[in-house]
Structures are given as C-alpha cells and as structure tokens.
A and B are shown apart, each in its own frame.
Chain A
Amino acid sequence: MSNVDLSVSIGKLKLRNPIMLASGTVGYGNEISEFSDLNKLGAIVTKSLSLKPRKGNPPQRIVETPSGMLNAIGLANVGVDVFLKEKIPFLKKYDVPLVCNIAASTVEEFVECTRILDSEETIKAFEINVSCPNVKDGGLQFGNDIKAVGLVTSKVRAVTNKPLIIKLSPNVSYISEFAQVVKDEGGDAVSAINTLVGTAFNIVTKKPKIFNINGGLSGPAIKPVALAKVLEISRKVDVPIIGIGGIMNWKDVIEFMIVGASAVQIGTLNFIDPAAPERMIKELEDYCLSNGVNKISDLTASYII
C-alpha cells in the first residue's frame, strides 16, 4: 500500500483521484469501458445532454490540425429521456462519480434538463456547457455573455443541490470575470477550458474543411492557452477549477494542478489512447512518491511566481 493520497475535492464533489474524462470524449461510458476500468477513474462526464435528442451537424465534422483537431459535432446526443432510460442502467453498474454535462439553447432549457436529471441518484454533479462553439442558436452567445452565464448559474442553482460546475469558454478576453460570476451566483466550480474557435480551409477547393466552417480546437496545441486561463482564474478567483486542454500524459496533469486545477479532464487523448487515463493514475502516484508529495491536492495552485 502506498501512502500517497490521490483524492481531491471539487467543492462538495469528492473524487478518488484527479483524473476525469471530458464530455464528448467518453460517450456514455460503454465504449471506453472496453479499454479502461471506469471504477479506477476520478469521474466521467457525459456527452452534452439536451432536452430533446439532437441530430448534430452533417459531415464533415472533424479535421486534424497541427498537434490538434477541430470538431463541430453539433451536440449530437440522445436527449435526457433516452439517457435516463437507456444509458443510466449501464452507468449504474459502476462506482465512478458521474457528472452530467448539459447543453441548451435557452436558460429555461438548462433549468428543465437539470430538474429532470436531478432526481437520478447515479448523477453526482452537473457540468453546464455554456460554451459549445458549434451550435448557432445558443452556446457561443451564452459563453461570451457574462450576464447570461450569471443567469444560467443562478437559475440552475435554484433547482439542484448537487455540485454545479460551469464549463467556461476560452473565447473571451478575461475568463476570470466569468469565473467570478459563477462563484457569485452559487456555482461550486468551473471547468476551463472548452475548445477554442478555429477553422481550416482546403487550398485547392477553397472550401472549409468542416461543414460548420468553424470548429472547436482541442488537443495539445491548446495546452498553453488552457494553462494560462486556469492560472488567470486561480490568481483572481477563489473557486475550484477543473483544468482541461490538451492533456497527453501525467506531466501535463501535474502542470495543470500547479497552475491552479483541483482536478483535470482528459479529452482528445481518449480518441487516441483510451487506456491512457487509467495508466496516468499510477504514474501520478509514482510522481508523488518520488517527490515527497503526500497529498496530491497539495499541488493545486502551488505555483511559485
């Protein structure tokens, strides 16, 4: 038995380790369970759920870019009713904290989704996606509008006592202002960051490579941006942060924690090496052992500037 305590807290949400799987990169858990023991992970975050099923964008939805990828899936999902009926039974079999990510086009829809899901005890927390860049009728306006983020936070707060995490957009000038609003309106934590808006064109046809024209950039290309955003929030706002953006290995996890993250989410890497997140847990333990870290949570915001 090792003496390292890998457990972390994100407000009221207790995790056995800081490794979470990010929304949209783990589906509803069943595929990834073939590569990884879900029970070993800190938490998994579902694909964004909306009130009604969403078909998503037509192809082409993804394209690779240098050290990254652009996606414009368009929040394709089964909707909350099918999720509760058909997806929850599988997830119930596991002892891993389940965080439900919710996407919506209106404040009312965010509230309604949360209200419907709140009574399901398997769901341990909510992550509100105010920042999907790929849906024309909602996401981006919410993510860029500080009043709208505040309003969504307070209205959703009113219908759930479960930990409430707001996933922030990096496509703003000062992300810390958004984190402050989340805290002021009763949010328990923020996830930072969602994808960066980007595009790619074919130089022969002169057409965009993805149908939606713009997509969300993810992968190691965005890690320095994500670290800067996490650090900005950490220095200005006293709120737990879940760090996200291009994590490829355990060293990246440590780096995110040093700049202020309490936990992290692994995203694009799940597409490439779905067994990697579970492996990282052991590697984090080894790092702690060889660096005299008794509690991994001590690393959070341990930066020296």
Chain B
Amino acid sequence: MLIVNSPVVETIQVHENIYIQKILSPEIARDIRPGQFLNIRVSETTNPLLRRPFSICDVDGDNIFIMFNVMGEGTKILACKQSGSFVDILGPLGNGFNLEDDYETAVFVAGGMGSAPFPYLTRKVKDSKKIISFVGGRSKNDLITYSLMNVHTSTDDGSEGFNGNIVQLLEKNLDKLTAEKIKIFGCGPNAMLKSLKDFCLKYDFNCEISTESAMACGFGICQGCPIESAANPDRYLLVCKDGPVFNSKDVVL
C-alpha cells in the first residue's frame, strides 16, 4: 500500500457521464493486479472529505486507467481534471482476481459500470485463455464494452442485444459455456451478482465476483464495508480487505 500524488495524463469521456482517466503512476502500475482497487482523494478541501474507491480498469506501462460514472461531487471534480492536474492515490488495495485457477475460457459478466475491471483482466489473460464477455445494462446507453473482446450484450429494455438481463443471456448461451472448462468473473450491481451466484451454483461453475460497498479508508480500519460471510454467520467479512473479489460461494448477497 502506498500513498502517491500522481499526474493525470488525460481524461476522456467515453459515454454520457462515463469517463476514463489515464494517470501516470509507475509505483501503482508496477504492483497492481486485476480486481484490486484504488482509493482516490480528489481534493485537499474537506468537501468531499473522504477518498473515493475505483477499481483498476487497465494498466499500460507506467500508466494506470480508472473508469467512473459522474455521480456526485467527488466524481465531478475528478472528471474535470485534465493533463497537469494531480490525484492523490492510496493503493493498491484489496485482493484481485485469482488467475491461477485451472480453466480454458474466461467468461466476463459485467452489469453497467461493472465493466470497469475487465479491460485489465482481458489484457492479462488474453494470450493464454479464450475470452467471452457478457455485458448488460438497462438500455443501450448503459452498455460499456470498452476494450472488451468477444462481446455479447443484453439490455433490460431490448434497445440493443438480447432483451432481458445478463444472467438470462448466460442461461441462453449455456451450451457454449458447458462445452469448455470455464471460469466466470462477475462485476456489477448486487442484485446482478446475486443472480449470477445462483446461476453458478445451479450449474456448478467456478465464479469470482467483484463486490462494492460504501467505505471510508479502504484498508480495514474503518470497518465501514461489511459483507456477510457464507462460512461464518457470526462475523462479517470486509469488502475492502477480504475482497473486493470473492469466490461467489464465500459470501451471502
């Protein structure tokens, strides 16, 4: 874990309200793994006061990339930072995806902003594994397919791709999935992760999910980000430290 003040290289608007920011941060780039996250302080003032957590979207050489949706004060300030501005980064935080498992095909399942960690994961596994990406959203404007490979889409309103949710689309493609040794990697809203978890239990797929939570510190001291443990109902796990990536069997959603 480091705290570094790193310069923004560029900030690109990729969608309505969605931005990708390229930051020159060799210290972070060297260490960070797919699925880990950064806690970023966007301003030295007290409003916003806390850091904001962002999953690592991609790494290229000394540059790191984050993807974010402009939701409130913090992300608004971040979106305005152009070349020459600095961001105060605390990271890398949490565990990442486990890439050592025995599988031939990586299946990425992303809902909305849940696409954020997959460009980096794609970069890391594309030379050794086959990749299939399933990307869902409420409407076609919510589909984020940036840097993803072999993409299948679904929308709740049918405006693009399969008309339905992303897990229904997986179910429809079951023959493709059962033919090979696969591992599923999921990221998205909790409701989506819950139905993905149920789907993976039903068909006995190995699945890792990247969860999110409100949090203050990002490294385990504020205890602000509990998630129910499947193994031990007497204590919570922490999204920041025990996660944000969990095997879907290990948490109760």
**B195-221: contact bitstring with A at CB < 8 Å (1 yes, 0 no)?**
000000000000000000111110111
List of A residues within 8 angstroms of B224 by Cβ: 61-62, 71, 73
**Given known contacts A69-B216, A219-B49, A271-B216, is B221 in contact with A26 (CB within 8 Å)?**
yes
CA distance A59 to B224 in the complex (A): 8
List of B residues within 8 angstroms of A219 by Cβ: 46, 49
CB <8 Å contact, A69 and B49: yes
Q: Report the minimal beta-carbon distance from A160 to chain B, rounded to whole angstroms.
A: 27
Contact among A57, A64, A221, A248 with B50 in the assembled complex (CB-CB below 8 Å): A64
**Given known contacts A26-B221, A73-B223, is B49 in contact with A272 (CB within 8 Å)?**
yes
| Residues of A within 8 A of B (CB-CB), count | 38
* Interface membership of A94, Cβ < 8 A: no
* Interface membership of B143, Cβ < 8 A: no
Q: Report the minimal beta-carbon distance from A20 to chain B, rounded to whole angstroms.
A: 15
* Interface membership of B225, Cβ < 8 A: yes
Q: Report the minimal beta-carbon distance from B229 to chain A, rounded to whole angstroms.
A: 10
CB <8 Å contact, A27 and B221: yes
Q: Report the minimal beta-carbon distance from B41 to chain A, rounded to whole angstroms.
A: 6
* Interface membership of B12, Cβ < 8 A: no
**A67-109: contact bitstring with B at CB < 8 Å (1 yes, 0 no)?**
1110101001000000000000000000000000000000000
Q: How many contacts between A and B, using CB within 8 angstroms? A: 96
CB <8 Å contact, A271 and B222: yes
Chain B, Cβ-Cβ closest to A61: B224
**Given known contacts A68-B49, A248-B46, is B3 in contact with A25 (CB within 8 Å)?**
no
* Interface membership of A34, Cβ < 8 A: yes
* Interface membership of A280, Cβ < 8 A: no
Contact among B3, B48, B227 with A64 in the assembled complex (CB-CB below 8 Å): B48
List of A residues within 8 angstroms of B47 by Cβ: 66-67
* Interface membership of B1, Cβ < 8 A: yes
Chain A, Cβ-Cβ closest to B46: A67
* Interface membership of A39, Cβ < 8 A: no
CA distance A31 to B226 in the complex (A): 17
CB <8 Å contact, A220 and B220: no
The 4 closest A-B pairs by CB, nearest first: A62-B224, A271-B217, A271-B216, A67-B46
Which residues of B pack against A, CB within 8 Å? Answer: 1, 3, 41, 46-51, 213-217, 219-227, 234-236
